[in-house]
Structure 1
């Protein structure tokens, strides 16, 4: 059907969407890589120190020619070292203890944590302590390739430079310990670090405080067996509960021992670190901003996921009881059909040669006693008009002016007091018209929605749309009927009092969703709109993603147009207020906001697979699919449909849901930027034989 010639959405939407998706995945990967760093773990034990590594020299020097040397703290000098920080809870407490006792220490920091807490890195330096590199993500250096090792060291150096403006020359490998537990692979990693200009610092008193063995055990390990001997003591200020470490540190420093507690560099007589090169500061600052942006992105996506889950749960809480109430009321209605006068059926048609004969014949075959069929050919370029001429119904020809104009022309030519609007690709059941018009016995009813079902439900795409029609559309309409705020009568099957159409000015043509626009106008005029689930129409749906995209984009964007057009209903009373505060609110929450936030669920599923527990992600996903399957089964049961298509529900999570989300995203962006899409006809393939369902089988 035809065409509001309006400005098309900018193709840049797709470029922006692609770039946005790539940026989102980059942010997730970055955050997943740097989150949770500094994990506890024991040093990997080798078979003894490799050749050249002195067990009594925890500071390893490797010259340019590969010669391995070592150094130890002078007698009476103790270098307290703390790994895995900085930590917002434990590092300040460690610093407070050191300041109280006038001791200085060396902190081997994780670069990702320095970026997260740069103020703590600055405090460490400002209070006279020293920083060393402990890699960027607490990586096990003997298990990573050389490029990863270099990257871990460079990123941490840059992070320290950006936070403190100082360079760093000391490095301690994660999961290291005393020289005795080092392996040949550890020594190879140390050589690589030395080649990058670092002095490697191991330890000769590993307190094992990460195991939380008790304060006494930590103090004993830190004191050593040789009082007065120099030592490098390894402790931790992050990576877990460090309450025992803080208490042990206070006790150690409170116990008179005659030892001087100094930094590693001070104990070795090495000069303080130099100011960092400008390049390191710039790169470190950019990395910190990127890490911060990634954290904010993940936090935002987390809140969006919470919103999506809450909205999805709220929607079910609204839909299911309403659907049950509607079904119960439907069962109580009398089966006797009453005559409501002549019914005129208006069929707008544009290039419907494949379906129009079946549509018209199904209308003529209806058992309602007084039916008038008016077909309006809207400038078709195929044989639509010629086919209709041989069917014995009223035919109106017009140049192509659009579906709303065609409908209005048909209504003007109709004589019935009730007008049924039918798409040219729709087939009615023999009792559809009689059931559809029954609510007009109530003088308050101005329009009636029928039950549109998918006729060509072949292939996976057809089955997905079948489920969507049954679960999404018809459950919604049952709820809207109960709440008396029906926003849309589908173009495939809807009935109106003729005088109501005249009262609202006919079918509007200034939105892409003329059916929604018209329905809202009818409600705002004070008329009641109801749904009849037993008035069944079979309609053709797109079987290619391209055609489906065009249809759904028009529906979604057109619905947004209609919502904006009728937004003032929110402030009105009576029927208008119900439409505004119930109908428009529902559409805003569950047809716009929910699809916009629901991708966060998929994003976090991918995030969980990459950086979390597969079993947890799988469990949550299965629970999500199970809820959808149960809802779909209930909806199919209400519509007297077989449960066979339920097997496609899990597959919907990988393609169809994301497809519909993109439609809403594209429509929202177009609405915000003012872009529009022209009305485009769907390529027809012909309905073919109707599905055999319990709803179509004759009663026994």
Structure 2
């Protein structure tokens, strides 16, 4: 009986390898697809795809810093290699990072091995650009929502498959006013909004969020990161750790005790976790 049990265990393990293109993580993501924020309440998760773009990503980052909002950036490997300085800026601002494949290919007909090679190359490119071989990449989003076998492969690499529930179709050339109407019609608590900072002219997207984010904040909406599957996990901070003897300028972001903080003005020595008058707490990593 003991031998038979060991054989069955080996068969199950082999099946996991075949299904995902690699060994499954017992404590990692499940392969389920995420459609909501980590926590409940009147919150929404902002996600931006197809960057980084030298034309639009800096402007989106400036807006998010000005409004003290964190988002999730779903990055393409090719764009990452072309613009590593923007990856470093995204990370330094404490935003979450998402793997969006290397070249925005549809994965629907790909084998698990092919998907695994693409996702691994993309993760490697993101971490190389960020200058951090251990940079946490918690999310994966399949281009076009063509998932195929990718959620299970992503889970084997430590990532949760991230979908969306708000889609203003900002790729179709509509003006900002139309995007605003679509987003206002779709917003609800725990929603995940899909928009783009790359892949074309994103001036309507930027203009829409320049109006919407402060309006939503005034209406009592907050901003969260998307949920992860198979957790809970410890916070995965990307912003640099706070150092007590460093000087920080208004807008600088740091991580401290699993949270991201943004300086309200010039500061030095004040511990972010105990100086709310100097540091704005932007939430758990």
Same fold (TM over 0.5): yes
Identify the match of residue 222 of structure 2 among 236, 248, 260. Answer: 260
Q: Residues 253-294 of structure 1: CA distance to partner in whole angstroms, max 9, x if unpaired?
A: 12122111233269x97544378xxxxxxxxxxxxxxxxxxx
Query: Aligned residue for 1:169?
Result: 138
Report the counterpart of residue 603 of structure 1 in structure 2.
none
The 2-side partners of 1:69 and 1:162 are apart by 27
Q: Distance in 1 between matches of 2:48 and 2:123?
A: 17
Alignment pair present for 1:198 and 2:164: no
Q: Which is bigger in relative contact order (C-alpha 8 A, separation at least 6)?
A: 2
Q: What is the aligned partner in structure 2 of residue 590 from structure 1?
A: none
Q: Map of 1:643-654 to 2, 5 A cutoff?
A: none
Alpha-carbon deviations, 1:531-584, whole Å to 9, x = none? xxxxxxxxxxxxxxxxxxxxxxxxxxxxxxxxxxxxxxxxxxxxxxxxxxxxxx
2:80 corresponds to 1:117: no
Give, in whole Å, the separation in 1 of the partners of 2:72 and 2:95. Answer: 6
Pairwise CA distance, 1:191 = 2.3
Distance 2:168 2:108 in 1: 22
Give the TM-score of the pair, scaled to structure 2.
Answer: 0.64
Q: CA deviation at 1:143?
A: 2.8
Contact 1:84–1:108 (CA under 8 A) maintained in structure 2: yes
Match of 1:233 among 193, 212, 231: 193
Q: 1:121: how far off? A: 0.5
For the residue of structure 2 that corresponds to 1:240, the secondary structure is: coil
The residue number in structure 2 matching 1:92 is 58
d(CA) in 2 for partners of 1:67 and 1:168? Answer: 15
Structure 1 residue 211 displacement after superposition: 0.8
Q: 1:64 to 1:122 in 2, by over 3 A?
A: closer
> Could you tell me how far apart the structure 2 residues matched to 1:142 and 1:167 are?
26
Per-residue deviation, 1:248: 0.5
Q: State the alpha-carbon separation in 2 of the partners of residues 205 and 250 from structure 1.
A: 17
1:217 aligned to 2:178? yes
Distance 2:59 2:141 in 1: 22
Partner of 2:48: 82
Count of matched residue pairs: 204
The whole-number CA distance in structure 1 between the counterparts of 2:182 and 2:234 is 29
Classify 1:70/1:118 alpha carbon distance in 2 versus 1 (closer, same or farther; 3 Å). closer
Q: Residue 242 of structure 2 aligns with which residue?
A: none
Higher helix share: 1
Structure 1 position 76, deviation (Å): 1.1
Q: 2:236 aligns with which of 266, 273, 280?
A: 273
Structure 1 residues 221 and 65, CA gap change in structure 2 (3 angstroms): closer
**Where in structure 2 are there 5+ consecutive unaligned residues?**
1-25, 239-285
| TM-score, with length taken from structure 1 | 0.27
Q: CA offsets, 1:629-666, max 9 Å, x none? A: xxxxxxxxxxxxxxxxxxxxxxxxxxxxxxxxxxxxxx
Aligned residue runs from structure 1 range 529-540, under 5 A:
none
Query: 1:518-529, aligned counterparts within 5 Å?
Result: none
- CA shift at 1:75, angstroms? 2.3
**Alignment check: 8 A CA contact 2:71 2:96 kept:** yes
**Which structure has the greater CA radius of gyration?**
1
Distance 2:93 2:163 in 1: 23
Paired residues of 2:35 and 2:162 also in contact (CA < 8 A): no
Deviation at 1:160, TM superposition (A): 1.5
Q: Deviations over 1:58-114 (max 9, x none)?
A: xxxx99897847562222111100000000111001111111111110000001111
**Which one has the bigger strand percentage?**
2
Instruction: State whether residues 110 and 136 of structure 1, in contact with CA within 8 Å, keep that contact through their aligned partners in structure 2.
Output: yes
